[in-house]
Amino acid sequence: MEKICCFRHEQFVERLGWGALRRNDGLEIDQFDHDRALHTRLLPTTEPHLSSDVYPQIMKGQAWPRSPEIVPIQAKPSMSGLRKHHQLYSIQGNTLLLEPEVRNPLKPDATLY
């Protein structure tokens, strides 16, 4: 989680200049990071992931789509929470559009399912 908070600090404080979030430790942690906040991981489906390797029966015999642009979200956070940081990505339908300059490991466009 510390790496994520450091990444957030780089993006929001250093890159976007959100001074209210500046901290001496270089981490972006705010009043919304509490035990009720949800986080999720995004893995490209070209790699093993929970849905394909632990619960393949979800697809009822069909093959899982595999692409660097497709990511599964197992614990779906609220879409309004994802929209919180719209400068880094946006949601159009079921597609998460990521800006390539934020060094995201995924391709610029990632499809959520």
Q: Are residues 61 and 110 in the same domain?
A: yes
pTM listed for this prediction: 0.41
Total domains present in the chain: 2
pLDDT score for 77: 42
Q: Are residues 42 and 62 in the same domain?
A: yes
Query: In which domain, by residue range, is 25 found?
Result: 1-37
Q: Are residues 51 and 28 in the same domain?
A: no
Q: Are residues 78 and 99 in the same domain?
A: yes
Q: Are residues 68 and 79 in the same domain?
A: yes
Average pLDDT over residues 4-8: 84
pLDDT score for 25: 95
Q: How confident is the model at residue 32 (pLDDT cuts 50, 70, 90)?
A: confident
Select from 45, 6, 46, 1 the least CA-distant residue to 23: 6
Evaluate whether 99 touches 89 at the Cβ level (below 8 Å).
yes
What's the rounded Cα separation, in Å, for the pair 21 and 24?
10
81-104 confidence digits (pLDDT tens): 444 444 344 444 445 555 444 444
pLDDT score for 90: 45
